Chains A and B, each alone.
Chain A
Amino acid sequence: MEMQDKVIKLVSEATKMDAANISTNTSFVDDLNLDSLDMVELMMKMEDEFGVEIPEDETENLKSVGDVVSYLKSKTN
C-alpha cells in the first residue's frame, strides 16, 4: 500500500470518517474537528505504524493529511 493510502486508512480508523472523504487536502482541525489531544494520539498511531518519532513541536506544523504524508516520506526514505 502507498504511504498516502496507509495514512488515510489510519486517519479514517481514528476519526470514523469514511476514507473516501479523506484526501491530502483534508485538515485535521477544520475538516475532522480533532483537538490537540486527538492529534497527539493520531501521531502516536503514525509513529507505531511507520516506526518513526514525531516530536511534539513538529506536530504543530502538521495541519493536513498531506503534511503528515510529506513528513513521513522525508523521515522514512
Chain B
Amino acid sequence: MIATYSDLKDKVILVTGGARGIGKSICLALAEQGAHVVFNYRGDEAKAAALKEELEAKGGKASALKFDVTDYEAMTKAIDEFTKTVAPISGLVNNAGISKDTLLLRLKPDEISQIIDTNLKGAMMVTQALSRNFLKAQDVSIVHMSSIVGVMGNPSQAAYAASKAGLIGFSISFAKELASRNLRSNVICPGFIATDMTDALAEKAKDEYEKSIPLARFGTTEEVANLTCFLLSRASSYVTGEVIKIDGGLYI
C-alpha cells in the first residue's frame, strides 16, 4: 500500500542510487504520485533506459542522469545542466550507498575511503551541488538514507556504520543552516529490509535475524518508500532534523 500525497505531483525529485533496492522502490512510489523522478546511474545505459520507461509508464516524467556520486566534477555538471535546462529540483533522496562487511582489523584504508566517499561525502557533495538551486526552489525536502546500524552499531560494519552515523550529523546541521529558507532535512534509518542483498542470505541466518525483530519479519522496500514520500511531501511540513527508524522494533 502506497499512500498518496497530492503535492508530490509534478514535484521534481532526485533519488541517488535509484536503480535498485530501496532506491528503486522509492523511484516507483514517487512515480505513482506523479512526481518527476530524476535518478542517477553509473554505467548501464540499457538498465537506466528500462527504469526510465517503467517510471514513465506510471504517467509521470522521469529523467536519468549519468554520474557517480564520488565523481564530484561530473556529478555537478550533470546536476547543473538538469536544473538549468530542464527543471529546478525541490526534493532529494540521498540514497546511494555501498558496504563492505568485514572486521575493522581486516578493513583496508582504501575500502574505508570508498565507503565514506560514497555514503557520506557523496551525499554531502550532491546536496552542496544542489544548494543554490534549493535557495530558489519552494518546499525543499531532503531525505538521507542512513541505517539502523548508524545508531545501533554492528560488528563487521564499522566503516559502513560510521558513514551512516555521519549522515545524521550532516542532516541536522544542514537542517539548521537552511531552515530559515523553509528547507527541511531528515534521516531514515531502515533496519532489515528484504532486498536482493538480504535474499542472498542463507535461510538459517534469516531466521536468526527475524528472531531479533519484535515484528518478526523483514521490512519491505515499499514500507521505506512510503516513509520517504511522507517526508518529501508537505504532509510532514513541521518535521525537520528528525531521525526516523523503520526497523520493526529491532532497536527499541
- Chain A residues packing against B (C-beta within 8 Å): 37, 40-41, 44
Does B64 belong to the interface (CB within 8 Å)?
no
The CA-CA distance from A37 to B132 in the complex, in Å, is: 10
Does B7 belong to the interface (CB within 8 Å)?
no
Q: Write out, one digit per residue, whether chain B residues 178-189 have a CB within 8 A of any chain A CB (1) or not (0).
A: 101100000000
- A35 to chain B: closest residue by CB: B180
Q: Write out, one digit per residue, whether chain B residues 127-138 have a CB within 8 A of any chain A CB (1) or not (0).
A: 000001001100
Chain A contacts of B181 at CB under 8 A?
A: 37
The CA-CA distance from A17 to B135 in the complex, in Å, is: 21
- B177-A37 in contact (CB<8A): yes
Chain A contacts of B135 at CB under 8 A?
A: 40-41, 44
What number of residue pairs across chains A and B have CB atoms under 8 A from each other? Answer: 10
What are 10 A-B pairs at a CB distance below 8 A? A37-B177, A37-B178, A37-B180, A37-B181, A40-B132, A40-B135, A41-B135, A44-B132, A44-B135, A44-B136
Chain A contacts of B132 at CB under 8 A?
A: 40, 44
For the complex formed, measure the closest distance between the CB of B251 and the CB atoms of chain A, giving whole angstroms: 35
For the complex formed, measure the closest distance between the CB of A76 and the CB atoms of chain B, giving whole angstroms: 20
The CA-CA distance from A44 to B137 in the complex, in Å, is: 13
Chain A contacts of B180 at CB under 8 A?
A: 37
The CA-CA distance from A6 to B136 in the complex, in Å, is: 21
For the complex formed, measure the closest distance between the CB of B132 and the CB atoms of chain A, giving whole angstroms: 6
- A40 to chain B: closest residue by CB: B135
- B136 to chain A: closest residue by CB: A44
The CA-CA distance from A40 to B128 in the complex, in Å, is: 13
- B131 to chain A: closest residue by CB: A40
Chain B contacts of A40 at CB under 8 A?
A: 132, 135
For the complex formed, measure the closest distance between the CB of B125 and the CB atoms of chain A, giving whole angstroms: 14
For the complex formed, measure the closest distance between the CB of B73 and the CB atoms of chain A, giving whole angstroms: 15
Chain A contacts of B136 at CB under 8 A?
A: 44
The CA-CA distance from A41 to B178 in the complex, in Å, is: 12
CB under 8 Å from chain A, chain B span 156-202: 177-178, 180-181
The CA-CA distance from A57 to B123 in the complex, in Å, is: 22
The CA-CA distance from A41 to B183 in the complex, in Å, is: 14
Residue in B132, B180, B181 with the greatest tally of chain A CB atoms within 10 Å: B132
Chain A contacts of B178 at CB under 8 A?
A: 37
Chain B contacts of A44 at CB under 8 A?
A: 132, 135-136
- B132 to chain A: closest residue by CB: A44
